[in-house]
Amino acid sequence: MKAQIVLATHNPRPDLLERQLRSLIDQTESNWQCLVLDDASSDRSAIASVLSDCRFTLLPAREHLGPYRAFEHLLQSAATVPVFLCDQDDYWHPEKVALMLAVPGAAFSAMRVVDDQGSLVRDRFLPPPTDLTPAGLLLMNCVSGTALKITPEVLAAALPFPAPTLRGWHDQWLAAVAARLGGLTYLHEALVDYTQHDSQVIGDGLRTVTAQRLRRFTRRPQLRARTDWIRVAAHRLLALPGPADPDLESIATGRFGRAFRQHPIPRSRAALLLAGRWL
């Protein structure tokens, strides 16, 4: 086995899940296995189709975990080979696994954006990243899990995930760990079609925060949980092998000002982080 794929599902749209699974089966690199966790879907029949291919293993059902803990649970069962994270409603280009396996270390690729019919919305989800430092990734994540490959070393250092009761993101944590341990390579070729559809939370997130959304976010207890998770994650990163990092140290102590100056991020994002710190 050259690679392992981990896939978490929760009430997937059957047509989009089928398209995603077909894109895995059609990979030019076929020497992989996929661990699947259905996270308490109301109807598990949609995922049953994976059992027809012996490369898929469906893990036993559990209580609803949510994406963060579901991927942590999957990764705890992963093998000591490069691991690819997979969402339930995207599409992998046929050469994705092969091309990413050829890149040493942890890596992630560009993504196209498509609608639920597969029609192109825009040719890049995000512009090429300019800040792949651990602190920069904690302040503004640019790595989507469905485009990410991690190494066994990153996996070992990342588990268990920090602060499961707070508001963390699995892809952000794994990317920051990879950056701390020696680097994260960006592949400019779009190897994933990121699907946007009505039943999905659109991933543009805090890059497009309006004044109205900002006021609404600041009244939510989740905002404090989000900022607290970032501080806890910074503490964990500092405990890993690596050079002194004053920016991580400032984040870990809740002093975001220095990190903001060193890692320019949208003002709306900075305002949310500061509000979460002091609310």
The CA distance from 109 to 104, in Å, is 13
pLDDT grade for 69, boundaries at 50, 70 and 90 = very high
Residue 142 pLDDT > 80, yes or no?
yes
If asked whether residues 262 and 125 sit together in one domain, one would say: no
* Total domains present in the chain: 2
Task: Identify whether 161 is part of a domain.
Answer: yes
Q: What pLDDT is attached to residue 202? A: 44
pLDDT at 207: 46
Query: Is residue 30 pLDDT above 80, yes or no?
Result: yes
Judge whether 200 lies within some domain.
Answer: no
265 lies in which domain range?
Answer: 207-278
Question: Are 249 and 161 part of one and the same domain?
Answer: no
Is residue 138 domain-shared with residue 241, that is, in the same domain?
Answer: no
Tell me, yes or no, whether 64 lies in a domain: yes
**Same domain, yes or no, for 115 and 237?**
no
pLDDT at 206: 44
Q: In the predicted model, is pLDDT for residue 230 greater than 60?
A: yes
Whether 252 is covered by a domain: the verdict is: yes
Residue of 106, 109, 96 whose CA lies nearest to 174: 106
Residue 47 lies in a domain: yes
Q: Are residues 94 and 23 in the same domain?
A: yes
Rounded CA separation 250/259 (Å): 7
> Are 54 and 180 within one domain?
yes
272 with 218, same domain: the answer is yes
| Cα–Cα distance for residue pair 11/254, rounded to 1 Å | 37
**Last residue of one domain, picked from the residues 141, 160, 195:** 195
Q: Does 202 map to a domain?
A: no
C-alpha distances (whole Å) from 184 to each of 125, 130, 227, 263 are 18, 12, 24, 17
Domain boundary among 160, 195, 230: 195
pLDDT at 261: 81
- Count of Cβ atoms closer than 10 Å to residue 266 Cβ: 13
b/e sequence 130-166, b meaning 16+ C-beta within 10 Å: eebbbbbbbbbbbbbbbbbbbbeebbebbeebbbeeb
Least confident of 107-111, 196-200, 234-238: 196-200
Do 103 and 64 have their domain in common? yes
Check whether residue 68 and residue 132 sit in a common domain.
yes
- Residue 68 near residue 170 (C-beta atoms within 8 A): yes
Q: How confident is the model at residue 133 (pLDDT cuts 50, 70, 90)?
A: very high
Q: Please say which residue of 173, 195, 217 terminates a domain.
A: 195
- Predicted TM-score (pTM) of this structure: 0.91
Looking at the fold, whether 242 and 183 belong to one and the same domain comes out as: no
Whether 152 shows a pLDDT value over 60: the answer reads: yes
pLDDT score for 220: 60
How far, rounded to the nearest angstrom, does the alpha carbon of residue 7 sit from its chain's CA centroid? 12
Same domain, 106 and 130: yes
- CATH code for the domain in which residue 131 is found: 3.90.550.10
The rounded mean pLDDT for the chain is 89
- Looking at the fold, whether 83 and 212 belong to one and the same domain comes out as no
Does the residue 201 lie in any domain? no
